[in-house]
Amino acid sequence: MSFPSSVRLVEVGPRDGLQNEPEPIDTATKLALIDRLGLAGIRHIEAASFVSPKWVPQMADHREVMNGLERREGITYSALTPNLKGLEAALECGAEEVAVFGAASETFSQKNINCSVAESLERFAPVLERAKQANVRVRGYVSCVLGCPYEGEIAPDKVAKVSKALFEMGCYEISLGDTIGTGTPLKAKRMLEAVAKEIPMAKLAAHFHDTYGQALANLYAVLEEGIAVIDSSVAGLGGCPYAKGASGNVASEDVVYLINGLGIKSGIDLDALAATGHWITQTIGRPNRSKVGVALSKK
């Protein structure tokens, strides 16, 4: 296999990166972050999550965020919508793309969205149908593809089964998430091989966390297999509330540095992205987990 000529980064920092912050982050800061990311060349930004404030209080201002965006041409601003109620609210705010969130682990599904994997897929059916009516694209997430905090190892065929179900329901792209960051390059390749038997590689994305410091190595492995879409979070912000000890997504700055070094195009200004990571971590008082970002900020 050879590397793709270009990679599309899906920036999840404004949603996945900020959703677990314990102290409220004002809407203006979130909007400034999204705009800075767009100016740095990011063309796909997950901006908000239309979930109950009871469960994710940090995302309670989802309407204000989506309505307050300075929408720039050529940028997709998406939102997580786990159910029909969330989708309707997102549509009212002009969302042009939404996402649903499933799991390859039964236990994680119960802990995360309070239902079985099969029940979660049933819940998504009306969301996909309504989105299609509204001409809004739906992206599908599958979590725990390389391990579960409750079940341990997850068989690749389980990942393939859930991914195929979401794809056949109408999700245009399936993002494969190493939620607890325990995957290794060979495991990542094996998992991807199983999923790619059911879904075209061009319809798959990698969403890897860096808990064990393996995210970049895992991304290199799946890039070799043909993955050309990568989810990442500026400054490595984020984590998972249902996966104890899981650190954030792989840092966007580190991913861009990697693919630049491989001669892969992204259209992203690394210096501007690093400056954005430095700014947001300083603003919210969090450590910058991007090694590249920290290095560039010291120049």
Which residues belong to the active site? 240
Q: Which residue has tokens 């056949």?
A: 168
With the CA atoms of 82, 87, 93 and 97 taken in that order, what torsion angle do they form, in degrees rounded to the nearest 10? Answer: 80
**Nearest residue to 251 (alpha-carbon basis) of 203, 285, 294:** 294
The first and second tokens of residue 62, run together, are 């989802």
Helix (H) or strand (E) holding 78: strand 76-80
How many other C-beta atoms lie within 10 A of the C-beta of residue 249?
33
Cβ distance 234 to 283 under 8 Å?
Answer: no
Q: What are phi and psi for residue 269, nearest 5 degrees? A: -85, 105
Cβ distance 154 to 148 under 8 Å?
Answer: yes
159 vs 180: CA distance, rounded Å: 15
How many other C-beta atoms lie within 10 A of the C-beta of residue 116?
14
155 vs 240: CA distance, rounded Å: 21
At 263 the three-state DSSP class reads coil
Q: What are phi and psi for residue 115, nearest 5 degrees? A: -160, 165
